[in-house]
Chains A and B, each alone.
Chain A
């Protein structure tokens, strides 16, 4: 079965510090994309970062970076210099047959 597991329902981090959100997935496909989405409270779901599975280099977008371990099927998100605006639900997903397979999400709390 195709699954995405986000083992941390909730995480908290002090403002300006670094936090890592974990994600593991299970797919038999060899080429796919992985995504992290962010959903702030009462706001739109937006894409944070994407990773192509055949690329070994980890994707980076400003303060957001991933640690992609293809063999382990692990795709964690690191947020550096956390800001109050990073508080949100974070969802991990990968694409399969024109659909996205989603994790249950991690709620990130930023402590001022």
Chain B
């Protein structure tokens, strides 16, 4: 079975802390995505990666960075967390040629 694993389901951090959200996929796929989900706004793309060490900004990259050192792992980094980054973060990877995505379980981040 396809698997996308996000390292933490729930995190609570303080303003200014550095936050790492990890995502691992077992599908050997080149593309991986990080989304942010907020009520009434749907899913907004933060960053995506189409290969190791390759990344592209999505619609809302400000305040975030990413790392893709290995094909299976795509990390989202908040260099200095702020309260407006309190949100649900979803990692995903395509499952085939149709463009549909398979998602991890999500990481709910609260920044105090």
- Which residues does A use to contact B, with CB under 8 Å? 4, 9, 33, 35, 43-47, 50, 52, 91, 93, 95, 98-100, 102-105
Q: 7 additional contacts, CB 8 Å, given A95-B100, A102-B44?
A: A33-B99, A47-B102, A50-B98, A99-B33, A103-B42, A104-B41, A104-B42
11 contacts between A and B (CB under 8 A): A33-B99, A33-B100, A43-B105, A44-B103, A50-B100, A98-B94, A99-B58, A99-B99, A100-B99, A104-B42, A105-B40
> Once the chains are docked, how many angstroms separate the CA of A37 from the CA of B20?
27
Main DSSP-derived SS at the B contact region:
strand
Q: Are B104 and A102 in contact (CB under 8 A)?
A: no
Give the chain B neighbours of A104 by CB distance below 8 A.
40-42
State which of A44, A45, A91, A98 has its C-beta within 8 Å of the C-beta of B99: A98
Q: Which 4 A-B pairs have the closest CB atoms?
A: A95-B99, A45-B103, A104-B42, A102-B42
Number of inter-chain CB pairs below 8 Å: 49
**Known contacts A44-B106, A45-B90; is-contact A100 B101 (Cβ 8 Å):** yes
Q: How large is the interface on B (under 10, 10 to 19, 20 to 34, 35 or more residues)?
A: 20 to 34
Q: Does B34 reach chain A (CB closer than 8 Å)?
A: no
**Known contacts A44-B105, A44-B106, A99-B48; is-contact A91 B100 (Cβ 8 Å):** no
Give the chain B neighbours of A47 by CB distance below 8 A.
100, 102
CB contacts under 8 Å to A, within B39-58, are: 40-45, 48, 50, 58
Give the chain B neighbours of A52 by CB distance below 8 A.
98
State which of B31, B90, B106 has its C-beta within 8 Å of the C-beta of A98: B31
